[in-house]
Amino acid sequence: MTTPETPVPAAPKRIPFVTDAIRLARVLFSPGAVFEEQQEHPTFWIPWVVVSAFFVLVTMLSMPFTIQMTRLGAQARGQPLPAAAESAMRVMAPITTPVVMLIMLVVMAGVMYLALLAAGGEVRYKGLLSVAVFTAPIGLLQVLLTFIVLKLRGPEALQTVADYQVTFGLDLLLPQDASVPKFVEGLLRGVSPFSLWSLALTAIGVRVVEKQTKGAAWAAAGVSFAVGLVIAALFAGIGGAR
């Protein structure tokens, strides 16, 4: 007499956008579990769409501050900001925000890919793209906190371009009368609790998703972090040179 086989319960159905949105929130608190879910079938495009939508939302909420800061900067150079430029900023922001984010994620994954290949490891670019996009919520938190700080300061306190610049980095340790090159200031600004959190999350993701050693994962994350830091500092230097 044969024993009837116990039916295997069907896996719960997943709704891609909802599932990935939940993962993007969970990764802040349980990154290991989220990245384990990405080992076999790494995802990128849907998480990118979800994160981009939130970035666009915060960007549009912050648009009055962005326009006013741009207006003050133009006035300081003796070139009033045309009304057409303000309209263009409002129209282009929802388009450029996701594109810029996509470029940043592709570059971040590419740097890690090359670093791991140079170390002789086997690695999937798609897996590193997944790691990169699942660290993006930390950047979203920083942008959201920046918006909140500006709202709390109030319009009366925002009279100069410097008043609109919110930083959480090591540049806060500089004396107020310190005169350092904008590039150096940009480097210091880039080292913050948010960037260090992102660095640790990236290392965890590379180690779990691509099954790398802890040393290789931290090395790849560190190289990517350094490249991003230098690029941001270069843009800060260019902005300061105007």
Helix ranges, 119-241 (H): 125-133, 136-153, 182-190, 193-209, 214-241
193 vs 172: CA distance, rounded Å: 12
Q: How confident is the model at residue 102 (pLDDT cuts 50, 70, 90)?
A: very high
**pLDDT tens digits, one per residue of 17-72:** 688 899 999 999 999 999 999 999 999 999 999 999 999 999 999 998 888 888 88
Residue 10 lies in a domain: no
Highest mean pLDDT among 7-21, 37-51, 164-178: 37-51
CB 123 within 8 A of CB 39: no
Residue 2 lies in a domain: no
Residue 1 lies in a domain: no
236 vs 231: CA distance, rounded Å: 9
Least confident of 56-70, 121-135, 144-158, 203-217: 144-158
Residue 11 lies in a domain: no
Least confident of 137-146, 149-158, 227-236: 149-158
Tokens of 85: 């430029």
Domain count, the chain: 1
pLDDT (0 to 100) of residue 1: 46
**What CA–CA distances, in Å, run from 158 to 152, 172, 183?**
11, 19, 25
Residue 4 lies in a domain: no
Residue 102 lies in a domain: yes
Half-sphere exposure of 47 (CA within 13 A, CB side): 24
119 CB-contact burial (10 Å; exposed 0-12 / middle 13-18 / buried 19+) = middle
Task: Please provide the average confidence, as pLDDT, over all residues in the chain.
Answer: 87
Residue 5 lies in a domain: no
More confident residue, 69 or 143: 143
Residue 8 lies in a domain: no
Domain region containing 144: 16-241
**What CA–CA distances, in Å, run from 222 to 105, 195, 216, 225?**
15, 11, 10, 5
